[in-house]
Amino acid sequence: MKCNRNIYLSLLLAFLITGLIVSCQQNQNEKHTANTIEDAAVKATADSIVLEQVWELNEQIRRPESAVYEPGQNIVYISNMVGGASDKDGEGYISKITPEGEMQDPRWVGGLHAPKGLAIHGDYLYAADIDALVKIDLETGEVAQRYPADKAKFLNDVTADTAGNVYVSDSRISAVYRLKGDTFDIWLQGDSIRSPNGVYAEADRLVIAAGRKGAGEGRLMQSIDYDSHQVMPMGKGEPIGELDAVQPNGRGGYFLSDWGAGEVMSYHPETGVQILKTISQGTADLDYIEEQELVVLPVMMSDRILGFRVE
């Protein structure tokens, strides 16, 4: 009886162990399948973006650099440098166009030098103008304030967070300036953000296209924690190109432009880069109007603005 009992217990134990192993394998297979489905869904979403050009505006536009949409008026503001990127000649201006590509006011604001990045917060438009940030009243078009930037050489892209802080990249001195209240000074500077251009303010971090010491040539996608100022590469942390624009694409990633290669791209940290369009040199600081599924793209070197439907 004792021998039979031992045999019974051994068989029972073996049965239980086998069941446990099978259950673990099933759980691992289910987890792997779920991850595979999720990864495939992310990739399919990233790879499914298509841009179809629906209009072109090439009149009264001179070396356009940035576009930003204001939903209250349903207007797109365009910065026009006119001359060289560092020329303090007072010839730069800002235009107002419609999302349908029609000119509404070619010189809504004049007397600027070489305006580049644009951002809107509240009732004001902010424009980077070589070594100063210009604050413009959206209702009147009057310059409300100019904020000189100490040591600035080439203020470039502009973004604003929900609290009203305005961040501006300086591509020549590897820095990001911040306007907080009435104080405009360097917020972060160094080799971790070499030659920064495109910036976009998210809830808890600043997304930035910038080079990085030891990462090779070109700009890569990175993020900066607002509190700690820690700079972290996104995705594989590899340079992508001569990145200019950084704008959310509404699908968990970003629209990017490569100024030198004349490309518009979609980027997701998990799937990398998808080239959507190759146009011509000067693809600059685009904006994406998500509710209209429309990308508005300045092409600086050919003096034109292009509108693309996102499909």
**pTM of the predicted model, to two decimals?**
0.86
- Give the model's pLDDT for residue 255: 98
What DSSP element (H or E) covers 46? helix 2-47
- Rounded Cα distance between 141 and 243, Å, is 30
Question: According to the model, what pLDDT value does residue 100 have?
Answer: 98
CA distances from 117 to 30, 32, 183 (A): 47, 44, 19
Are 42 and 271 spatial neighbours (Cβ–Cβ below 8 Å)? yes
User: Considering only CA atoms, which of 176, 177, 181 is closest in space to residue 163?
Assistant: 181
What is the dihedral sign for C-alpha 18, 20, 23, 25? negative
- The pLDDT of residue 41 is 41
Residue 12 to residue 16: CA distance in whole angstroms: 6
Walk along the chain (311 residues) and give the pLDDT tens digit of each residue: 434 445 444 544 454 444 444 454 555 544 444 444 344 444 444 558 999 999 999 999 999 999 999 999 999 999 999 999 999 999 999 999 999 999 999 999 999 999 999 999 999 999 999 999 999 999 999 999 999 999 999 999 999 999 999 999 999 999 999 999 999 999 999 999 999 999 999 999 999 999 998 777 899 999 999 999 999 999 999 999 999 999 999 999 999 999 999 999 999 999 999 999 999 999 999 999 999 999 999 999 999 999 999 99
pLDDT value, residue 208: 98
pLDDT at 36: 41
What is the rounded CA–CA span in Å between residue 220 and residue 234?
8
> What is the 8-class DSSP label of residue 5?
H
Bridge partners, 288 (sequence order): 295
Count Cβ neighbours within 10 Å for each residue of 164-173 and write b for 16 or more, e otherwise.
ebbbbbbbeb
Q: Find out whether 258 and 244 touch, Cβ atoms under 8 Å.
A: yes
CATH topology of domain 51-310: Neuraminidase (2.120.10)
Separation of alpha carbons 73 and 139, rounded Å: 10
